[in-house]
Amino acid sequence: MPIIITSKLKMKPGNEEDLDWWGTANRLYHIYEDQMDRMFDYTTEWHWHFSMEFFYAYQGEFEFFFSGDHVRLKQGEAIFINSNVLHAIQSADKKKNRVGRGIVFDYHLLTGMVNSFVEQTYLMPLLHCSELPFFVISPTGKQQISLILSFMQAYQAEADSDYGYEIQVQKHMLDWLMNLLLLTKEIVEKAPVGKNLSSERLKLMLTYIESHYQEVINLDAIADAASISTRECSRCFQKNIHTTPTAYLTKYRLNKAVHFLLETTMSVLEISEFCGFSSSGYFSKLFAKEFKVTPAAFRKQHKNKS
């Protein structure tokens, strides 16, 4: 299971994807192609975003991890990820040539003005549905195939970039939305209203770790970030991402160290201090245990590959 791997996505504090990586803040969507072999260990980091997301397994299989759950996406299948849902993605077999295509978008792309009838009647119940953090679409029925096809048409319109292509993207995504609403209507209508409290607490603690990983952090400090006991803190981590707060913090620091080893000329000592380790010896020991190689050797190996 993935725990904090550096990806190409830009993040706000709190592992929330930043709007500016879309290109412009007023465009409301970003269509992308992810080649997982470009990412270290074929894995993205845990993150969430206000935007909705749709991902299509174009080539190969993918694993999606959520708070206390995970699904395996076969080639040709797709997944809808709801707003503010904590998730991570990895290539199922960690092999090259695994390609996913998707779109991340602000729902106002589909509703127009703020607080419109469409937004309040159709989008808000979907966005706030506690039983629908994600929804897998297999191409097994007319509705499912139509939904996937609508996205593929939006993707192609973006790729062609003909005059007015942004309007074409919006048009196809409206068709996509109609299919999604029909497929999820029963789930949304029957679901109780409310947020996953454990997941919301976890987000607060992940935000704290990202902002303070360079400092001395103990379990009390992590728990205080969500105003809960250390026992409840440990339970939240175990329930949602199947690890302990301390193990998560260590892994986060190690993966930050990977970034600095590959992207900077900082010394191993400087990196160990910058990433919050008590000594370079302790850092090297943990690094070797995790990656089966010393930090210096890791840097040399990857430098030779590039």
The SS3 of residue 32 is strand
For residue 2, is it within any domain?
A: no
Q: What percent of the chain has pLDDT over 90?
A: 63
Residue-wise pLDDT for 12-68, tens only, equals 444 455 444 444 556 789 999 987 665 556 677 888 888 999 999 999 999 999 988
Tokens standing for residue 78:
């797709």
Question: In this structure, are 125 and 238 located in the same domain?
Answer: no
pLDDT(96) > 60: yes
Residue 62: its H or E element: strand 62-66
Domain span at residue 55? 11-190
What's the DSSP call for residue 154? Answer: H
Query: In this predicted structure, what is the pLDDT of residue 200?
Result: 85
- The residue among 127, 162, 190 that closes a domain is 190
**Count of structural domains, the chain:** 2
For residue 5, is it within any domain?
A: no
**Residues 6 or more apart in contact with residue 127 via CB below 8 angstroms:** 52, 82, 83, 107
Question: In this structure, are 80 and 201 located in the same domain?
Answer: no
Question: In this structure, are 245 and 264 located in the same domain?
Answer: yes
The mean pLDDT of the chain is 86
Q: Which residues pair with 193 in a beta bridge?
A: 129
Domain CATH for 277: 1.10.10.60
Residue 35: its H or E element: strand 29-35
Task: Classify residue 232 as exposed, middle or buried by CB count within 10 Å of its CB (0-12, 13-18, 19+).
Answer: middle
- The residue among 132, 164, 190 that closes a domain is 190
- The dihedrals phi and psi of 102, each to the nearest 5 degrees, come to -160, 180
Domain CATH for 87: 2.60.120.280
For residue 3, is it within any domain?
A: no
For residue 268, is it within any domain?
A: yes
Question: In this structure, are 124 and 230 located in the same domain?
Answer: no
Question: In this structure, are 183 and 290 located in the same domain?
Answer: no
Query: In this predicted structure, what is the pLDDT of residue 289?
Result: 93
Query: In this predicted structure, what is the pLDDT of residue 39?
Result: 57
- The dihedrals phi and psi of 160, each to the nearest 5 degrees, come to -75, -35
Residue-wise pLDDT for 200-209, tens only, equals 899 999 999 9
- The residue among 174, 190, 206 that closes a domain is 190
Helices then strands, counting H and E runs in the chain, come out as 12, 10
- Least Cα distance to 210 among 151, 263, 251, 176 occurs for 251
- The dihedrals phi and psi of 52, each to the nearest 5 degrees, come to -80, 160
